[in-house]
Structure 1
Amino acid sequence: MTKPFSFNPGAAVTCRGRAFTILEAVTASSVLVEDAETKEMEVVPVSRLSRPDGADRPEPRRSLDSLPEDDLAEAKRRFAIIKPLVRCARRSHDDVKAVAEQNGIGLSTLYRWIQTYEGRRLMSDLAPRRKGRTMPKRLDATTEAVIDSVIQDLYLSKQKATGEAVIIEVHRRCRAANLAKPASSTIRTRLRAIDPREKVLKREGRKAAHDKFGRVKGEFPGADSPLAVVQIDHTLLDIIVLDEEMRLPIGRPWLTLAIDVFSRMVVGYHLSLDHPSAVAVGLCLCHGMLDKAAELERLGIKGEWPVWGKPRMIHSDNGKDFRSYLCRFRLKAATVSDAKAASVPIASRPAFRFEGGHRSDMKPAPLPP
C-alpha cells in the first residue's frame, strides 16, 4: 500500500519528475506549487502530484519490541510532543509553532515528525533510522552558526537576499573566520528547510503571510454569477518608463484592474503614469463594460476576451478615488452598487491577490548594450 502524503503548505511533492513545494490550495483539486530549483510557481492538479522520488516504496514495518532501548525512548518522546497535534481536529500553523517553541524544536523538524506519523500512524516510525544507511557528515557548530546568522540577517529579512547571495556571504564569513567553506548544496538544503509561512512573514511582512496562508472565511457574499461583484484596485508596477528620444526615466506606471469575483476573469484595466484618481476608476470600469474585440484587433492579439457588461456591484478599498463624490454619483446614476473591502477577508479579494502575484512575477529586464 502506498503511503499517503499531505497537501498542506510546505509539503514536498514531485510532478513530471521534478521536485516541488506546495504553497497553497487554489481549488479543491489543484494547488499552487514552487519548483525547488527554478523557484517558478504554477498551478497543477493534485492528481499529477506524487510523493518525492523513492518515497512511494513501502518501508518495512518495525515493531516497538524490535527497537533498541534508546530508539524506543526517542520514539516515545517524539510521539508525546506531537500527540496533541495529530489528535487535533483543526490543526493550525500557530498550534504547531507553539508546540515547537515550547519544546525547543525547529518547525520543519516538527512538521516532518507529524508527516511521518500520519503516514501509517505507527509510533515506531518516529524512531531514529540510523541502521542500514550512511549518516550525512555533520558540520561543526561554528559553521552552522555562520549559516544560521546569514540566513537570519539576509534571507529572512526585508533585504530578501537570493539563495546565491546567501551562499556568497556564508563563504565570505567562513573565510574570514578561517573555517572550511560548506558546500553550496548544504546551504541550499538549509534554505529549503525553512517553513514557507515563516519565510513570507520575515521577508514580506505579516499582511503578506496572512494573505497567502490565512484561512479563507467562506465565499465572497453576493458573487453568485458573472459580473455580480467586480473588484477594482490600483497597483504601482515595478517598471520604469523611459522617454522615446532621450531615454530618460519618466516614472513608474499605475495599473488599475477590475476583476470579476465569480469567474476570476480580468474585466478591464487602465494603465497610466498619472496617480490613482476617480478618472482612472471610471476609465477602467468603462473599459470593462465595453466589447474588447476591436482593441484586440488593433493590438494584433489573436484570441478572445469575452467579457463586457455592467456589473451589479463594485467592490473596492477605502481610497479617496473610490470615495469621491464624482465616482459615487456616476455609479448611482448607472444603478451600480458600490461597497468597501474593510469587512471582507484578504484571501477573498481576488483583485488584491492578483495584483500582488503580478508584482512578484515582474522580472528585471537586461540593460541595453
Structure 2
Amino acid sequence: MAQTPDRILISEAAWGKALAREAVIRPIAFVKNLTGPERFSACRKLGLKPTRFYQLLAQFRRKPVTSSLLDETPGPEKGRRLLSREQEDAIACAIEETYCRRERPTITAVHDHVGEICRQRNLPAPSWKAVKVRIDRCDQKKLAKAREGASVARQQYAPVIDQYSARHAMEIVQIDHTLVDLFLVDAVNRQPLQRPWLTLAIDVASRMVAGFYLSLENPSSTSVALAIRHMVLSKASCLAEQNVVGDWPVHGLPTAIHLDNAREFRGRALAWGAAEYGINLIHRPVARQIPGAAGRHS
C-alpha cells in the first residue's frame, strides 16, 4: 500500500472528520449523474453547503483516498500547545489513579488531580481540554471495564458473532499466519535451521490466495504490510520473476480485511492505512478461530 498520512502531524479531530466525509462521499464519488436528493442528502449528513461539498467531491475524484478530504494540511492545530513528556506522564498517572475507578469520577476531577501532580513536580498544569483529549484517546474498552465492570464492557464492545460469507471477490479478505510444514536446512552441512512463517491473504468468496509473504522471521507488522502489498498489486511481474507460466487473476483493494487480535494486526499504521483507502478492518472475537483461514501454530 502507498504511504499513509503522517499520523503524528494530523490531529485526531481532523482525521475523524475526514473519515466521516469518506463514509458519505466514497459510495457516490463516481456516480455519473448524481440526483438532487442524493446531493441534498450528502450535504445534510456532512453539514456542508453545496459549494464545499462539490469541492471535496472534486478532490476525492482526483485522488480517492481519505486524506484528500482533510480540511487542513498536516500540522498542529492552530493555537495548539504541545505538552512535554513530563506533562503527558502526569495526565496518564491521573487517569490511572482517578478516572479508572468504579465511582466514575468526572474529567474535572482528573484535571484537578493532574494539577496536584504538576504542582508537586513543579510543572505547568495542562488545560482541561488537553486532559479530555487524552482520556478520549484511551482504550475505551479498558476504561469501561475499570469504571463499569467486565460484564458492561463486554456488552458494549464485544463483537457481534454471525456467519461469515461474501457475495463477490475481494469483498472480504482474511489474513493470518501459519508455520510452514517443512524445515529449511543449511546449504553446506544440511542441518535443519527452522520452519518459515507464511502470511496468507485469502479471498472469502473465491477461496483464492490473494497475496502472501514468506519469511524466516516471526510475524510482524512488516509481514502484514508486505502481504497486503502483494495482494493489492498485479501478480504478473511476480510470476515472470519465478518463470511461472500462467495467470493469477486476483489483485486490488478489498472492501474489508478480517483479522485476529495479534499485536501486528492492531497497529495504528495498519488502521490508518486501511482507512486511507476505505478498507474496513474487522477483528474477530478473542479466542475464536477465523473460519477457514490459516491458523497460527506454535
- Compute the TM-score of the two structures, normalised by the length of structure 2: 0.42
Higher relative contact order structure (alpha carbons within 8 Å, sequence separation ≥ 6): 2
Higher share of residues assigned strand = 1
- Compute the TM-score of the two structures, normalised by the length of structure 1: 0.34
